[in-house]
Amino acid sequence: MLPKIAGWAGWAAIAFVVFATLSPLKLRPRIPAIDDAEFLGIAIGDGQILGFALLGMLFLIAYPRHIVLIALIAVATPVLLELSQLFVQSRHARISDAVVKVGGGIGGIAIGWLVTNRGRVNSLPFSRNHEPKLLLQSMRQLFGAVQRKKRNDGILSFLQRLIALIKKSAGWRPDERSAFDHEAGVETDGVEPLWALDVESENIEHGVRYQPSDASEVSRDLDALPIQFEQFDFIDLGAGKGRALIVAAGYPFRRVIGIEFSWRLQEIAAANIARLSPEGRRCGEIACVFGDAADYEFAARDTVLFLYNPFDDFVMKKVIRNLQATFAQSEYRLYIIYHNPKFPELFDDAVFLQSFSRRSGGAIYAMKQ
């Protein structure tokens, strides 16, 4: 409840600040003790540091997993506000004001992290035990992702996706998939942009954001397989938070294995697996391990491979080559469930595979007999 209240309070405060800044009405009270104060020669007027510190703290409490996006808001909002005042006769844009507001926002974010994580600095997404992560690297990944999206999808599609991301950050998110998490007692919902994750693989530019698969569609495709599940392994490349693994755990697979190249998502998936109830687990071994799908070596065993548009064609070609090396000349069976298929032609052209079934939003491939 507190994060939701903080989120709405933060967005309402930003709306008020924008209106108060651009409106000809005198909505900003003058407090001489604050307005006339200076810090290192910079005027602090209007309680700017405190106001934007409060904004930063509210957004951090509301969206603790999106620190990079919040930091961008904390930087962009004051700068855009000052630039917008160039078009308002009664206002004067000052770069010093923007600097003060940015400083307040960043300070509020830091306070918010200390509050929400009880002072544990190592809870920051770029302060992990395996290797420290710098905010600069995350920012570089963000701008790279923006450029790729704009280049690949066009400016209109890019703007539509940007608006959708802002809506999701503000809490406008459909709840139809949350029912799965509630019933299973896990946390697999939400969208995680790639630039916000702690990915150190050289293949990061070939990955895509995390978005959970539709549990009912995964079950439907598993039910369509003409197999005895006890004889098969289930492997999910790009397992994310483990939703497909949780679904597969409800079938008597010999093993259920997820491969994920983000430490944070892999840890979330492992925690979700640990929460599985005895009633929700019918499989044998189940785990989500840290690794890169491009380098994964498949075991020579009967296998069901699950893919939910986890990466681009560069990595997908490597995966298909690895599959061919293991299964093409073997007696073992292979089924590939490919949801949201962006590169079906790669599987259609694979000499060792044949189409098993197709439907809107997905396809299943099998070894040629």
pLDDT value for 47: 53
Ranges of the chain whose pLDDT falls below 50: 27, 29-46, 90, 118-135, 169-177
pLDDT value for 298: 96
Mean of all residue pLDDT scores within the chain: 77
Joined together, the tokens standing for residue 52 give 């934007």
CB 220 within 8 A of CB 251: no
Q: Which domains, from first to last, does the chain contain?
A: 1-118 (no CATH), 188-194+210-367 (3.40.50.150)
Instruction: Report CA-CA distances (Å) from 43 to 31, 38, 46, 81, 109.
Output: 13, 4, 9, 17, 22
Beta strands in 180-246 (DSSP E): 233-237
- Per the rule left: phi > 0, alpha: psi between -120 and 50, beta: everything else, 197 is beta
pLDDT value for 37: 46
End-to-end CA, the chain: 55
The C-alpha atoms of residue 323 and residue 197 are separated, in whole angstroms, by 28
